[in-house]
Chains A and B, each alone.
Chain A
Amino acid sequence: MQDDEEWLRAWHRRGIPTETARALRAGLMNYKSGLQHVAHGKGRQTISERLNRKRYAADKTRRERKRLLDRWPVRFTYEMVAVKHPIEEPVLDGLNPQRSTTWKPVFERPHAAAELDLKNFSFVDDPINAISLLKQIAELESKISEGRLNFDDQPCLDIGPFLVLQEMNKGMLPIFLGGRISGSVLRVIEFVGLRHALGMRFSRAPSAGGIWPLPFRSRTPQGASPQRLLRHQTSEHVATEVIERINEWLAEQAEVQLTEDGERLVLSMTGEVLDNAERHSDLSSRDGSWSVAGFMVRQRNETSIFYKCHLALLSTGASIAESMATAGDATKARMDEYVRRHRGFLKSNFTDENLQTVFALQDGVSRVHDALAQGRGGTGFMDIIEFFAALSGTSKADIPPPSLAIISGSTCISIKPPYMVGVRNNLFAKEGLRAPRELWFNPTNNPDEMPDPAHVLSLPARLKGTLITMVWTTDPEYLQSRAIANAENQSS
């Protein structure tokens, strides 16, 4: 069997199916056998003649095999065969924890082809399915020699999985060659600028229009120079670009722009996500890497035209729960208390990590004890959630509800109605201080009650890092009315 696989490998490498290869092998064996047989009438051979004839037949057969093989080019590119050890890539390794032991160079793998249909590829709509598909890709990367990925969603539901996939692609062997792709996914990947990062080539040029991209941008660690923080930050460039793009879209489509208040919401939300990513994904240097991409599409229903915005931000490295493991003792004690309350013997709906992540979202909770002691920090997540809720508000009943998913480690927190904002419980406000915003994902918003399992989910695979991906509908009229109300409040 091992010999068979060894023998077939050269043929598979040229894309020749197993059956054809075996037929060719049988033909070669016949050819060899014919050469070994002595022609009639030649008389008896000496031992030396018999051995020479065998060697002659083997040599001729080898040459013939080579001649046949040379008719087809080897399908493994230099990039594929040059990689003899798995390239370390945290997201890929996290999704496939056995990768370091199961991974083989492509020329040592038995021929195996696979095809994967990526349907409902969305963390916002179906996080368990999205992470399962990414896990399957990560597992296939370590064992097959040829694969196809079919991106069948129409329209593109979520940009988040594509951000994760481009990160995985940094360490993947380029064994996924081809596959189907729907027109809308193709346009998103092309115009957002993810095609190169995903290692894709398209046989057809995407048609222009229909989507307005928020280009793919990424940040790599920039070192610990003390002057670094006085320079214009990458996150600031990116947040500004986000707002300019959204305004371009709206001006082009609806001849409106975001109000100052709307701009502030987008800038603050994007800024807080990027700041969190930078500070907490790299536990030692607070200089983590992140990537961001998004797009907007115009959609229409029976009564309205609306603008659906997709935005995703990925930081790799420590998950929220892992970063909370480095918090101060007092914070960890409170977190453990919350986890114990909902991880009793009979209460096993949630993992420790699920509950630690819920706890970390609350106002005033941070891993950076020194900052907390100085009365700052720990409000980033509630700000992100609050800005998102305000930004996605609408006065129209028929507009799809907003949704934001936080994927961190093996946990997904789904922020969508009815759990959209943190609420201040003034009964417990300390003197001279504001009550923290709390969001415990249950009807009474009570930390003593378990969170709703539809909003706090355990995932079947692990993302090494945190992805925040969101879909909302921009309603310029609502933002305008909100701005007027804010202005009136200020003047009164």
Chain B
Amino acid sequence: MPRINLADTVGPDVRVLIGQDRGVAVRAAMHLDELDNSQTSVEFVIPETLRTLTPSFVQGFFSNSVHRLGESGFFAHYKFDARPHIVSDIHAGIDRILTSRHLAGVD
């Protein structure tokens, strides 16, 4: 199973990752669109120093994957070697991805 270390892209000292645009940029730099289509599962290694992934970052980073694979497919395809609160952050971000935008007229 391929292992991808987030620290290789965002640096080892980062404590929090903020922002949808940043999530989209990191996603592109890590070629996640290609990884979504890989035949085997992929494991993300999240550095111990990282305290939080904000919901906006998770949305930018994983939105396309969640829409492509579905929620259960996403968690079957991607594994996380991370502290529990980071996994909670990922769940919170996916909750936002799967929130209806119908109030804004986008169905």
Residues of A within 8 A of B (CB): 226, 229-230, 232-233, 235-236, 239-240, 243, 260-261, 263-264, 267-268, 271-272, 274-275, 278-279, 286, 327-328, 330-331, 333-334, 362-366, 369, 371-380, 383, 428-430, 432-438, 486-487, 490
Contact = CB atoms under 8 A, between A and B. Distances in A.
Contacts of B99: 363-364, 379, 433-437
17 contacts: A229-B19, A229-B21, A230-B9, A232-B10, A264-B52, A264-B89, A271-B16, A279-B20, A279-B21, A331-B105, A364-B104, A371-B20, A372-B104, A379-B59, A380-B56, A429-B100, A437-B99
B51 A372 contact: no
Given A271-B56, A272-B55, A379-B59, A236 B101 contact: no
A264 B51 contact: yes
B79 interface: no
B85 interface: yes
B33 to A, nearest CB: 13
Contacts of A267: 15-16, 51-52, 54
Contacts of B97: 375-376
Given A240-B15, A430-B102, A377 B107 contact: no
Interface string B15-26: 111111110111
A264 B22 contact: no
**Max count, chain A CB within 10 A of own CB: residue among B14, B55, B63:** B55
Nearest to A244: B15
Nearest to A327: B104
A438 B103 contact: yes
Interface centre among B15, B17, B95 (most CB of A within 10 A): B15
A376 B59 contact: yes
A364 B85 contact: no
B29 interface: yes
B106 interface: yes
B52 A375 contact: no
Interface in B46-101: 51-52, 54-57, 59-60, 63-64, 66-67, 83-85, 88-89, 95-101
Contact of B22 (A226, A229, A377, A378): A229
A379 B60 CA distance: 12
Contacts of B59: 376-377, 379
Interface residues of B, number: 47
Contacts of A230: 9-10, 25-26, 29
Contact of B51 (A243, A331, A365, A428): A243
A49 to B, nearest CB: 85
Contact of A271 (B9, B29, B54, B103): B54
Q: Which of B17, B64, B106 has the most chain A CB atoms inside 10 A of its CB?
A: B106
B103 A362 contact: yes
A362 B99 CA distance: 11
Contact of B55 (A260, A383, A428, A487): A383
A437 B96 CA distance: 10
Nearest to B101: A364
Contact of B18 (A260, A275, A330, A374): A275
A230 B7 CA distance: 11
B26 A235 contact: no
Given A272-B56, A275-B18, A372 B106 contact: yes
Contacts of B52: 263-264, 267-268, 271
Given A279-B20, A362-B103, A379-B56, 9 more contacts: A230-B9, A232-B13, A236-B16, A267-B15, A268-B89, A328-B105, A375-B63, A375-B97, A490-B88
With a 10 A CB-CB cut-off, give which of B55, B99, B103, B104 has the most chain A CB atoms. Answer: B104
Nearest to A228: B25
A274 B88 contact: no
Given A364-B103, A379-B96, A436-B102, A374 B63 contact: yes
B2 interface: no
Contacts of B84: 487, 490
Counting chain B CB atoms within 10 Å of each CB, the highest count among A327, A328, A364 belongs to: A364
Nearest to A259: B85
Residue from A274, A379, A428, A429 having most chain B Cβ neighbours under 10 A: A379
Contacts of B13: 232
A379 to B, nearest CB: 4
A240 B15 CA distance: 7
A272 B18 CA distance: 7
B95 A434 contact: yes
A261 B51 CA distance: 10
Contact of B102 (A286, A364, A490): A364
A243 to B, nearest CB: 7
Contacts of B51: 240, 243, 260, 263-264, 267
Which one of B13, B18, B25 has the greatest number of beta carbons of chain A within 10 Å?
B18
B19 A275 contact: yes
B47 to A, nearest CB: 13
Contacts of A377: 20, 56, 59
A274 B17 CA distance: 12
Given A364-B101, A383-B55, A274 B18 contact: yes
Of B21, B29, B57, chain A has the most CB atoms within 10 Å of the CB of: B21
Contacts of B26: 229-230
Contact of A232 (B14, B56, B63): B14
Specify which of B15, B21, B60, B100 lies most central, judged by the most chain A CB atoms within 10 Å of its CB.
Answer: B100
